[in-house]
Structure 1
Amino acid sequence: MIMIYQLLMLLLNVAFFIMLAHVIMSWLLNFNVLNYRQSVVMSIWDGLNKLLEPVYRPIRRILPDTGPLDLAPLIAFLIVIALRDIILPGIFFR
């Protein structure tokens, strides 16, 4: 059981840091610190979008339309944090 718990924690930690990198990169692109026309920036951004869009899409369907403000990454962060810090330890270590 400990091995399954550690594997789930590893996956949730990786997901957390990938989402964090996506959010930080979106800020850097919006504030023109990074240039989307550079091939490295464009390939990293497209890779992160392709990786996280299947996670964000169901959340966006549930949330009301907020215009340019995308709350899907925030909700995904909260879900990952809740799973990582509250739910999984409660399931495995009762």
Structure 2
Amino acid sequence: MKFLALIISTFLILSLASQMEARKRFYCLWSTKRTCSKSTPRCIRLQTGVDNAMPTYTCKYYRSDCQYLLDSCKGETSFGLLGTSVDVQTNCVTNGIAIGGTGVC
């Protein structure tokens, strides 16, 4: 009987957690929908090297401003939390970073 209660409790906890994630995603989609461009690409740069004299940067190439704002709202990656917006052509395209990908820039 205790085993059955444990299984049911685990199932309920997992169910509630997935609903919270869905609500967070819906909120992020709703809150960013009117403030973003669906056609403007975005390049986000993050310092990945520890050496401040010669820092190393990694860039992430977002297909659109909306995708970046969604990532930023959800806070799922360090690019969304700590990234700095930089010029798309100079930092992402010139360095051969594919849309949706990351690379050294």
TM-score, length basis structure 2: 0.31
The higher-RCO structure (CA 8 Å, 6+ apart) is 1
Flag the structure with higher helix content: 1
How does the TM-score come out when normalised to structure 1? Answer: 0.34
Which structure is larger by alpha-carbon Rg, 1 or 2?
Answer: 2
| Structure with greater strand percent | 2
